């Protein structure tokens, strides 16, 4: 079979994902949105989410246009075109998915009146739209752009770095802006509502309640969609870069990552048909069933891809057989499963870590926070062991190309994983709409059951994103080293006995810490504004007595402005630092600059990965520790333990939804900027010699 068939089948498979996603969106819109009050609340959420994303993307466009021009002037126009395509597709993935999610929420609440299975079906299919658009647009962007540059006679895959940069930069802004928005509204609303006023979560008397529900969508839906779209595009691009460098005369090296993506889309579509509750009504089991079916179907497809595309010439590069290729892809699937299991262990109410934090809450907020921090720190151990073993195993089977295949295999599951993640904000909003619409208790009980699982699926997705980011970053780093090879001889020393590399490691290592600090401060500042506004409305209006109506729009406007203002500096940090090190130092000594920049990449990958795991998992633990108490344990709602857990949850909110997941694009943006400027530094080294 002609290898080019597998390159051209990729965009066809991608279009199939978009068509099926469109079909599911149409099905959701045909479902009953509920009574007039439910529709009114849902419209408020839709308007707030759209208003925020429109303003966010306008802000990003003002920054993106000058960057595209600079890339065209100092690198080339094709790379600049790739940047623009990556940015547009990344924005579209989040925007389309979010627009479906904010319409699936009231329909899920209404479906809950029929039963748990009906509500689960609406919520999952709403999330599946986002997942299918993420992988569909991701694979279409990568394969389509490669076909375009090939038809233009461009040799190699270097312009595709621009595509990855566009996706990464948009993701960074979306992650930070959406994260600040969602957690400022959540923290501010919770502290005043639950702790000061003593009213329940999602109480319609809380002026911040609509902003909180909007935040769930712009942060957990649009933000995560942009995150995994970016990781998907970066991983596919990096895999193709390594494929071209490893097998410059074999088109199979480029075709295999695309074929894996194409097969996985079919597997993800198959998986969406298996979300069915059994006799035990186990919601998590029903969702995991779809994940398992997708994984099994994908694995079968990867076996045949390995058989069809393996060539004897690959033996020279250390890939002994088609089975070696297949095992590399299998490693990616195994890592996905293990990251899901580990994250669920640390964040689910069914296991010891969450229950221990809940118990510690009986002694007050201090012990809750101490135990939550301890769980977050410990949670870094098992994921690192899994990632290390995966890297070593894949490398032993297929060198760096084997690691790239494992990373692409892992990311191939993104469609079904994002579906599980986007399910979370849909069920969260559904519960809020049920509460605000004063629907019968049995409906709220159903939405609460769905929402409790949604907290775990959101945490699981973050764990998955972190693991895949680690493998993708390693592949990008390896490609950086290839930029400094002349006549098959490395001209770059990245050994830690070089003081320049060591200095770079320290510089790169501190960037995630400073970035995280900016994110946390931003949430604190924006939350303070919300607290002041909610307190002011409570003091000047008879809202708590039910006489006056709260001004929801004021809170939405405050948090929108705060998020857009606060996202700029942390978003530009991972772009500016590698440019200062690479180009600034390079003007004086390009070889030293190349070594220092290599150190920056190493340092940022290590600390960024560890902080991402610690903050994302720790935040999820605090969240579900509060939920566990609210189920009636340790005194239940209103108890001293509950008040302590609410404080811990507000600390964990910016951990898990702002700073933690934003480290993923930070790591990759630093690496991609380094890849973009590496040819410039390499040319300076050549001129110097």
**Looking at 117-170, which runs of residues are DSSP E strands?**
none
Instruction: Judge contact between 590 and 319, C-beta under 8 A.
Output: no
Point out which residues pair with 489 in neighbouring strands. Answer: 486
Length of the chain as a residue count: 689
C-beta atoms surrounding 316 within 10 Å? 9
Residue 338 clears pLDDT 70, i.e. is over it: yes
Q: What torsion do the CA atoms of 628, 629, 633, 638 make, to the nearest 10 degrees?
A: -160
Distance, in Å, from the CA atom of 288 to the CA atom of 272, rounded to the nearest integer, reads: 11
Tokens of 568: 């700029």
For the chain, state the CA radius of gyration: 24
Which DSSP letter does residue 371 get? H
Of 353, 155, 138, the C-alpha closest to 227 is 138
Q: Can you give 457-511 as a three-state secondary structure string?
A: HHHHHHHHHHHHHHHHHHHHHHHHHHCCEECCEECCCCCCCCHHHHHHHHHHHHH
Check residue 1 and give its pLDDT.
53
Residues linked to residue 490 through DSSP beta bridges, in sequence order = 485
**Predicted local confidence at residue 215, as pLDDT:** 78
Rounded to whole angstroms, what are the CA distances from 122 to 223, 537, 588? 21, 36, 60
State the helix-helix crossing angle for 4-29 and 77-111, rounded to 10 degrees.
Answer: 30
| 195 has pLDDT over 70 | no
Burial (Cβ within 10 Å: 0-12, 13-18, ≥19) of residue 689: exposed
Q: What is the pLDDT of residue 180?
A: 85
Cα(first)–Cα(last) distance of the chain, in Å? 47
Highest-pLDDT range among 430-434, 593-597, 660-664: 593-597
Tokens representing residue 126 in the block: 């709403």
Maximum distance among all Cα pairs of the chain, rounded to whole angstroms: 79
Side-chain half-sphere exposure of 619, counting CA atoms within 13 A: 27
Q: CA distances (Å), 293 to each of 132, 267, 299, 426, 452, in order?
A: 16, 8, 10, 23, 23
d(CA 307, CA 79): 34
User: Do residues 656 and 462 lie in contact, with contact meaning Cβ atoms separated by under 8 Å?
Assistant: yes
pLDDT digits (tens, 9 = 90+) for 210-235: 887 777 777 777 777 888 888 889 88
CA 254 centroid distance within chain? 25
Report the range out of 108-117, 410-419, 604-613 with the highest average pLDDT: 604-613
| DSSP SS3 for 154 | coil
- Cα 176 off chain centre by: 11
CB 504 within 8 A of CB 605: no
- pTM for the complete prediction? 0.89
Judged against a pLDDT cut of 90, whether residue 353 lies above it is answered with yes
In angstroms, rounded to a whole number, what is the distance separating the alpha carbons of residues 580 and 573?
11
What pLDDT, on the 0 to 100 scale, is given for residue 487? 52
pLDDT value of position 598: 93
Instruction: Pick 78 or 340 by higher pLDDT.
Output: 78
Q: If 0-12 CB within 10 Å is exposed, 13-18 middle and 19+ buried, where does residue 117 land?
A: middle
Q: Render pLDDT for 54-77 as a digit per residue (tens, 0 to 9).
A: 888 888 888 889 999 999 998 889
Asked if residues 165 and 677 have their Cβ atoms less than 8 Å apart, the reply is no
Contacts of 636 (CB under 8 A, 6+ apart): 629, 630, 642
- The values of phi and psi at residue 485, to 5°, are -115, 125
pLDDT at 446 over 90: no
335's tokens: 């890592």
Nearest one of 523, 466, 565, 528 to 658, comparing CA atoms: 523
> What's the mean pLDDT in 314-332?
89
More confidently predicted of 685 and 143? 143
The answer to whether 15 and 140 are in contact (CB under 8 A) is yes
Q: Structure tokens of 138?
A: 């991701």
Higher pLDDT, 87 or 491: 87
Cα–Cα distance measured from residue 557 to residue 12, given in angstroms and rounded to the nearest whole number: 42
DSSP string for residues in 263-315: HHHHHHHHHGGG----TT--HHHHHHHHHHHHHHHHHHHHHHHHHHH--GGGG
Burial of 547 (0-12, 13-18, 19+ CB in 10 A): exposed
The strand pairing partners of 213, in sequence order, are none
Task: Write the pLDDT tens digit of every residue in 383-438.
Answer: 999 999 999 999 999 888 999 999 999 888 888 888 888 888 888 888 888 888 88
Q: Comparing C-alpha atoms, which of 395, 605, 599 is closest to residue 492?
A: 599
pLDDT surpasses 70 at 488 = no
Q: Higher confidence at residue 220 or residue 241?
A: 241
Give the pLDDT mean for 162-183. 85
- What pLDDT is attached to residue 300? 94
Report the alpha-carbon distance of residue 70 to residue 645 in Å, rounded: 49
What is the spatial distance between Cα 671 and Cα 601, in angstroms, rounded to a whole number? 6
Count of other CB atoms within 10 angstroms of residue 486: 12
Cβ proximity of 533 and 527 under 8 Å? no
Q: Residue 199 pLDDT > 80, yes or no?
A: no
More confident of the two residues 45 and 516: 516
pLDDT in the model for residue 542: 81
The answer to whether 409 touches 329, Cβ cutoff 8 Å, is: yes
How far, CA to CA in Å, does 469 sit from each of 59, 175, 208, 228, 466?
Answer: 26, 14, 34, 9, 5
Residue with tokens 């007595």: 545
Rounded Cα distance, 65 and 150, in Å: 25
Average pLDDT, the chain: 87
- The whole-number average pLDDT for the span 646-652 is 88
**CA–CA dist 243, 399 (Å, integer):** 11
Confidence of residue 194 (pLDDT cuts 50, 70, 90): low
Unique residue bearing structure tokens 């994260």 = 179
């Amino acid at each position: 079979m002609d290898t080019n068939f597998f390159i051209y089948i990729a965009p066809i498979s991608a279009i199939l994902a978009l068509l099926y996603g469109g079909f599911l969106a149409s099905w959701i819109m045909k479902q009953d949105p509920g009574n007039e009050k439910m529709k009114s609340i849902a419209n408020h959420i839709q308007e707030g989410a759209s208003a925020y994303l429109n303003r966010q993307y306008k802000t990003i466009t003002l920054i993106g246009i000058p960057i595209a021009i600079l890339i065209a002037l100092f690198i080339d126009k094709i790379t600049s075109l790739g940047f623009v395509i990556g940015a547009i597709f990344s924005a579209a993935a989040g925007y389309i998915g979010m627009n479906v999610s904010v319409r699936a929420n009231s329909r899920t609440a209404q479906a809950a009146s029929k039963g748990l299975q009906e509500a689960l079906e609406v919520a999952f299919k709403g999330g599946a739209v986002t997942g299918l658009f993420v992988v569909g647009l991701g694979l279409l962007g990568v394969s389509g752009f490669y076909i375009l540059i090939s038809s233009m006679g461009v040799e190699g895959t270097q312009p595709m770095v621009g595509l990855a940069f566009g996706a990464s930069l948009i993701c960074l802004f979306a992650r930070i802006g959406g994260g600040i928005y969602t957690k400022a509204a959540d923290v501010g609303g919770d502290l005043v509502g639950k702790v000061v006023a003593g009213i329940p979560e999602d109480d319609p008397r809380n002026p911040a309640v609509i902003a909180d529900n909007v935040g769930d969508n712009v942060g957990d839906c649009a933000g995560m969609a942009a995150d995994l779209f970016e990781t998907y595009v970066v991983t596919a691009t990096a895999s193709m870069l390594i494929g071209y460098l490893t097998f410059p005369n074999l088109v199979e090296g480029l075709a295999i990552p695309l074929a894996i993506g194409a097969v996985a889309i079919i597997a993800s579509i198959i998986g969406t048909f298996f979300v069915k509750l059994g006799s035990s009504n186990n919601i998590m089991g029903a969702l995991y069933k779809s994940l398992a079916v997708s994984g099994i179907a994908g694995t079968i497809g990867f076996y045949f891809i390995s058989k069809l595309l393996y060539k004897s010439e690959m033996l020279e590069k250390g890939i002994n057989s088609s089975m070696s290729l297949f095992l590399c892809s299998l490693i990616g699937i195994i890592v996905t499963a293990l990251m899901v299991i580990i994250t669920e262990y640390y964040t689910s109410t069914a296991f010891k870590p969450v229950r221990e934090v809940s118990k510690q809450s009986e002694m007050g907020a201090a012990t809750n926070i101490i135990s939550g921090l301890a769980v977050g720190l410990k949670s870094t151990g098992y994921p690192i062991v899994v990632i290390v073993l995966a890297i070593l195993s894949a490398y032993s089977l297929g060198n760096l190309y084997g690691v790239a295949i494992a990373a692409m295999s892992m990311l191939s599951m993104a469609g079904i994983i994002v579906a599980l993640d986007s399910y979370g904000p849909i069920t969260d909003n559904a519960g809020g709409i049920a509460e605000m619409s004063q629907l019968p208790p049995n409906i709220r009980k159903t939405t609460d059951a769905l929402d409790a699982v949604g907290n775990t699926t959101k945490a699981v997705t973050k764990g998955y994103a972190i693991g895949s980011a680690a493998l993708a970053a390693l592949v990008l780093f390896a490609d950086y080293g290839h930029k400094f090879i002349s006549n098959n001889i490395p001209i770059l020393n990245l050994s830690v006995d070089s003081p320049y590399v060591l200095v770079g490691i320290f510089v790169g290592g501190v960037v995630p810490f400073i970035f995280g600090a900016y994110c946390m401060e931003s949430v604190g500042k924006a939350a303070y504004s919300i607290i002041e506004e909610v307190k002011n409305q409570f003091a000047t209006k008879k809202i708590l007595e039910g006489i006056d109506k709260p001004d929801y729009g004021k809170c939405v406007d405050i948090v929108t402005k705060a998020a857009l203002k606060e996202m700029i500096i942390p978003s530009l940090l991972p772009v500016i630092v590698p440019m200062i090190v690479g180009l600034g130092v390079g003007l004086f000594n390009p070889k030293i600059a190349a070594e220092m920049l290599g150190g920056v990449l190493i340092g940022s990958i290590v600390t960024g990965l560890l902080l991402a795991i610690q903050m994302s998992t720790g935040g999820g633990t605090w969240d579900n520790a509060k939920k566990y108490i609210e189920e009636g344990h340790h005194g239940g709602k209103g108890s001293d333990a509950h008040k302590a857990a609410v404080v811990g949850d507000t600390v964990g909110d910016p951990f898990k939804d702002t700073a933690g997941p934003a480290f993923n694009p930070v790591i990759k943006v630093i690496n991609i900027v380094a890849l973009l400027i590496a040819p410039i530094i390499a040319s300076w080294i050549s001129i110097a010699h």
